[in-house]
Amino acid sequence: MELIYPPSQIALACLSLAHPEIAAFWARSKNADTALEAVESIKRMITQDGDVPSVEVVREIDRRLKICKNPEKVVGSKAYLAKKARGEKEAELKRMKKAESARKAIEQGNPFGDELTGQVNLDDDD
| The pLDDT of residue 71 | 84
Rg (CA), the chain: 30
| The pLDDT of residue 35 | 79
Decide if 69 contacts 75 (C-beta within 8 A).
Answer: no
CA angle 60, 56, 23 (to 5 degrees): 85
Low-confidence ranges of the chain (pLDDT < 70): 1, 110-126
Question: Buried b / exposed e across 81-94, counting CB within 10 Å, b at 16+?
Answer: eeeeeeeeeeeeee
Q: In this predicted model, what pLDDT tens digit does every residue of 79-110 receive, in sequence order?
A: 999 999 999 999 999 999 999 988 887 887 76
| The pLDDT of residue 92 | 96
| The pLDDT of residue 118 | 58
